[in-house]
């Protein structure tokens, strides 16, 4: 993976409950797909609980969840609110992306990345790319916005009409990369699952959420002439 072809986080709407309808209906329908049946990308079920000011989330997958970076940069998300136009405005992303260093929770990937590590948030956290670039699953809070022309061009027919709002995300640097452990369990019944516990509800930009969209996703990155990532574009698997 190089700096100009970074792909991250996979996005396909799998379950939907309790979110407001209206302007987002068309977007939600566009996100639905049956192509991922029987894979990690198909969300079979999810449980979101709040207890004593904490949020616990478990996402059950329809197939084994990769943990070694074998499928590139992948992830799940919980969209906790929509803006006044009906578009999803922020997401809790649980993600794994070998050779992309953006969380202190990640460990070293050794020689697996060669010289191709991308330190997307290194400037924020002072991360040494070589120490934090493995495929360890970890969490991010990311703001979203309607896709720009750059993202629509970069993703083509696979575009979901959304991208990460990098400026607003980086402005909330205190919660963009929480250190809560993300646990992957491919063994126990009722099936493969990814979970994270003890999240602070105030870290969700819409702290009043009760139910949420749960998604799996990927992002196609666009970089400028200086190989600086300028756009993170949501696309179908």
pLDDT at position 34, please? Answer: 46
Residue 140 domain-assigned?
Answer: yes
pLDDT tens digit string along 191-222?
899 999 999 888 877 666 656 788 888 878 88
Residues 86-136 pLDDT 10s: 778 888 999 998 888 888 889 999 888 887 787 766 655 666 677 888 999
- Tell me, yes or no, whether 11 lies in a domain: no
The predicted model scores a pTM of 0.80
Do the domain assignments include residue 16? no
The answer to whether residue 106 sits within a structural domain is yes
**Tokens read off for 11:** 């996005």
Mean pLDDT of all residues belonging to the chain = 77
Q: 210-232: string of b/e by CB count within 10 Å (b at 16+)?
A: eebbbbbbbbbbbbeeeeebebb
Tell me the residue range of the domain where 78 lies.
Answer: 21-235
In angstroms, the first-to-last Cα distance of the chain is: 17
Could you tell me if residue 173 is inside a domain?
yes
Are the CB atoms for 200 and 155 separated by under 8 Å? no
Q: Does some domain include residue 15?
A: no
Count: domains in the chain: 1
Residue 6 lies in a domain: no
Q: What pLDDT, on a 0 to 100 scale, did the predictor assign at position 203?
A: 80
**4 occurs within a structural domain:** no
């Amino acid at each position: 993976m190089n700096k100009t072809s970074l792909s991250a986080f996979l996005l396909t709407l799998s379950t939907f409950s309790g979110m407001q309808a209206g302007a987002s209906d068309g977007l939600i329908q566009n996100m639905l797909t049956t192509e991922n049946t029987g894979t990690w990308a198909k969300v079979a079920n999810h449980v979101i609980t709040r207890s004593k000011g904490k949020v616990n989330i478990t996402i059950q997958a329809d197939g084994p969840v990769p943990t070694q970076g074998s499928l590139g940069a992948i992830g799940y998300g919980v969209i906790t609110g929509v803006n006044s136009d009906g578009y999803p405005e922020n997401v809790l992303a649980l993600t794994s992306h070998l050779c992309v260093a953006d969380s202190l929770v990640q460990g070293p990937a050794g020689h697996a990345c060669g010289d191709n590590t991308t330190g997307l948030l290194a400037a924020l956290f002072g991360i040494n790319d070589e120490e934090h670039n493995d495929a360890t699953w970890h969490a991010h809070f990311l703001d979203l916005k309607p896709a720009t022309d750059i993202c629509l061009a970069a993703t083509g027919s696979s575009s979901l009409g959304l991208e990460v709002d990098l400026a607003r995300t980086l402005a909330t640097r205190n919660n963009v990369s929480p250190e809560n452990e993300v646990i992957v369990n491919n063994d126990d019944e009722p099936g493969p699952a990814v979970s994270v516990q003890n999240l602070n509800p105030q870290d969700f930009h819409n702290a009043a959420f009760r139910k949420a969209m749960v998604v799996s996703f990927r992002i196609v990155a666009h970089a400028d002439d200086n190989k600086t990532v300028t756009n993170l574009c949501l696309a179908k698997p």
